[in-house]
């Protein structure tokens, strides 16, 4: 795999490196852990006294990581790290004085048009990007958090920057008087986890997403886009954002847009994406993505790399994906309604305009009754009219086809 990066020669670099943070004696799915970080980074770990950091619970049981933003400040350096930036943005006050300066992220390119973004001011290093896409033709199926962290740290090694580590932990008291453990190592300000589901056919994928567009997830606002090919909950939230979309449809659009076949590699990617897109479309693949932002990660106590618990992240994903369960629990839930509420629900389900049938106060009363059942009658149901029968669309977790593989990522420094 080719790697485009600034020309940091080994003789001129002399970058002090913090201890590695990699699993020992852990079995990540499809990954054989290395006995020592020096196997991956060689001379970068010749620093005397380097000790592997303790391992948090990074074992993941489903889905894969689709995006990560992680940063770490190195205060114990004998000399600063190489700066990496794509310029800066300066903000001036009315008197012309500089209020603040923000470094822009530098783009790092991998093969198959993959890219990530890194910035370093000499002390603080930040990475943001999709490890599952790095150096690969696609990211339909990807890697666990443990594997993703290794990919990120290999990228950092390739451009002459230290890996992200847990650091040391200590206790402090927050503004609420509560004792809280903090870590001196890396922090995570965004983490996306995704899971693919198969509905069975393109029509079932479309029906499922149309049904989902009429559901409500707690206090999050429901939106849909295009021909209901994307449904999301909580757009613009400062905590989390949940999105479900037709992956086959998205891939097919992307495959038809790939027109550059000027090299063998680009031609192979175009053919591969088309084959994969057809498989996803034929099997009715929909993808659910949960984006957890800094505030949510703080509240979940998963902000520090040293305390990140993938069990907690997975539980949070399941809370959001519980909206799927209403498709099978619908009959039992609706059976609890009285006659009037049930009649309103049936009218809403059939796509009737309830605003023309009820007064404002009646409409709000019926909405209040139905909201605990996950039904918001202010949101159109988007079901097809005159459907003579109802049937259950069963979602199943997608398993990669036999011909699909997850290759290891090999980095080659410039």
55: pLDDT strictly greater than 60: no
Q: Is 167 left (phi over 0), alpha (psi -120 to 50) or beta?
A: left
Write out the H or E segment, with its range, that includes residue 243: strand 240-246
Cα gap 216→326, rounded to integer Å: 10
The SS3 of residue 35 is: coil
Cα gap 203→392, rounded to integer Å: 13
pLDDT value of residue 389: 43
Q: Please state the domain extents for the chain.
A: 10-193+292-318
Residue 43's pLDDT band (cuts 50, 70, 90) = very low
pLDDT value of residue 239: 92
Cα gap 233→215, rounded to integer Å: 10
Task: Report pTM.
Answer: 0.70
Between residues 57 and 293, the one the model is more confident about: 293
Cα gap 1→136, rounded to integer Å: 9
Is-contact 230 287, C-beta < 8 A? no
Is-contact 113 134, C-beta < 8 A? no
pLDDT value of residue 22: 29
The SS3 of residue 385 is: coil
| Distance in Å from the first CA to the final CA of the chain | 11
pLDDT value of residue 266: 56
pLDDT value of residue 169: 86
- Average pLDDT for 282-309: 94
Residue 32's pLDDT band (cuts 50, 70, 90) = very low
Cα gap 37→24, rounded to integer Å: 9
Cα gap 103→357, rounded to integer Å: 57
């Amino acid at each position: 795999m080719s790697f485009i990066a600034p020309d940091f020669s080994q003789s001129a670099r002399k970058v002090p490196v913090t201890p590695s943070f990699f699993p020992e004696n852990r079995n990540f799915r499809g990954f054989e852990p290395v006995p020592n970080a020096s196997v991956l980074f060689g001379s970068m770990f010749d620093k005397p006294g380097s000790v592997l950091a303790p391992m948090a619970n990074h074992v993941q049981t489903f889905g894969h990581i689709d995006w990560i933003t992680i940063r770490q400040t190195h205060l114990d350096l004998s000399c600063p790290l190489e700066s990496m930036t794509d310029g800066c943005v300066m903000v001036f006050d009315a008197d012309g004085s500089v209020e603040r300066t923000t470094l822009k992220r530098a783009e790092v390119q991998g093969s198959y048009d993959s890219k990530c973004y890194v910035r370093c001011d000499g002390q603080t290093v930040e990475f943001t990007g999709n490890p599952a896409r790095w150096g690969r033709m696609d990211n339909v199926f990807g890697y666990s958090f443990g594997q993703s962290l290794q990919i990120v740290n290999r990228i950092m090694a390739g451009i002459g920057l230290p890996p992200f580590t847990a650091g040391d932990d200590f206790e402090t008291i927050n503004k609420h008087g509560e004792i809280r453990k903090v870590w001196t190592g890396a922090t995570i300000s965004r983490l996306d986890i995704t899971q693919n589901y198969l509905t069975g056919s393109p029509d079932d994928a479309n029906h499922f997403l149309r049904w989902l567009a009429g559901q409500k997830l707690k206090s999050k606002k429901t939106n849909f886009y295009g021909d209901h090919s994307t449904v999301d909950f909580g757009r613009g939230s400062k905590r989390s954002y949940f999105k479900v979309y037709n992956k086959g449809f998205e891939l097919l659009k992307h495959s038809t847009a790939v027109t550059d076949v000027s090299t063998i590699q680009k031609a192979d990617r175009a053919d591969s994406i088309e084959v994969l897109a057809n498989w996803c479309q034929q099997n009715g693949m929909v993808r659910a993505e949960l984006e957890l932002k800094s505030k949510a990660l703080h509240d979940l106590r998963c902000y520090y790399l040293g305390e990140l618990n993938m069990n907690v992240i997975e539980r949070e994903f399941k809370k959001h994906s519980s909206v799927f369960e209403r498709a099978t629990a619908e009959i039992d839930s609706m059976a609890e309604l009285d006659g009037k509420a049930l009649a309103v629900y049936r009218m809403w389900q059939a796509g009737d305009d309830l605003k023309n049938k009820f007064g404002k106060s009646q409409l709000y009363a019926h909405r209040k009754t139905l909201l605990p059942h996950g039904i918001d009658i202010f949101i159109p149901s988007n079901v097809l009219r005159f459907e003579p029968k109802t049937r259950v669309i069963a979602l199943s977790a997608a398993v990669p086809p036999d011909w699909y593989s997850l290759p290891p990522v090999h980095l080659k420094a410039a």
